[in-house]
């Protein structure tokens, strides 16, 4: 695989869309396949795949996992390229908090929709933490509206330090 697909620098969403589009287009050309075939293999609507190919959207993580499996890439590499995983290494750091490890291990046992809600919450909290840590600001933003949009109950205040 060409190194242009997996750069080690921080990428903009537009650059991510371009790289993913090129990767998929190269696969389709190399294998002599069409968008319709790939959409069926990935189990997404043809329009969804077309929007990815035309750099209109970054898809969800589940779509990228299915795409990676279909085109023969590791899920981690494609999820990193799409911005779902950190770019600063091939491995995620080990978890040294047993209680947190237990809770995280339970996520895999949850129904799909619940897992996706939890991942959305964690992704948003991580983004908030990263943004506020760069400025050295404690985040005490009230976010009950975020929990309501996911149809879950959540505390009224989430504090990230």
Tens of pLDDT along 4-24? 454 445 788 899 999 999 999
pLDDT band at 38 (very low <50, low <70, confident <90, very high): very high
CA distance 145 to 120: 14
Structure pTM?
A: 0.55
Q: Where are the domains of the chain?
A: 3-82, 98-149
CA distance 127 to 125: 5
pLDDT band at 155 (very low <50, low <70, confident <90, very high): very low
Q: At what angle do helices 75-82 and 13-31 cross, to 10 degrees?
A: 140
Per-residue model confidence (pLDDT) at position 44: 92
The domain 3-82: what is its CATH number?
1.10.260.40
């Amino acid at each position: 695989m060409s190194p242009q697909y997996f750069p080690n620098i921080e990428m903009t969403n537009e650059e991510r869309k371009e790289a993913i589009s090129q990767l998929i287009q190269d696969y389709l050309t190399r294998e002599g396949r069409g968008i319709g075939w790939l959409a069926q293999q990935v189990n997404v609507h043809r329009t969804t795949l077309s929007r990815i190919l035309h750099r209109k959207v970054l898809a969800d993580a589940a779509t990228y996992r299915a795409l990676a499996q279909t085109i023969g890439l590791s899920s981690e590499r494609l999820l990193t390229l799409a911005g779902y995983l950190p770019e600063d290494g091939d491995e995620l750091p080990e978890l040294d908090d047993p209680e947190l490890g237990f809770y995280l291990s339970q996520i895999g046992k949850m129904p799909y929709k619940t897992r996706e809600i939890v991942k959305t919450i964690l992704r948003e909290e991580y983004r908030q933490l990263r943004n506020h840590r760069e400025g050295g600001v404690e985040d005490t933003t009230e976010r009950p509206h975020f929990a309501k949009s996911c149809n879950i109950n959540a505390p009224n205040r989430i504090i990230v330090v």
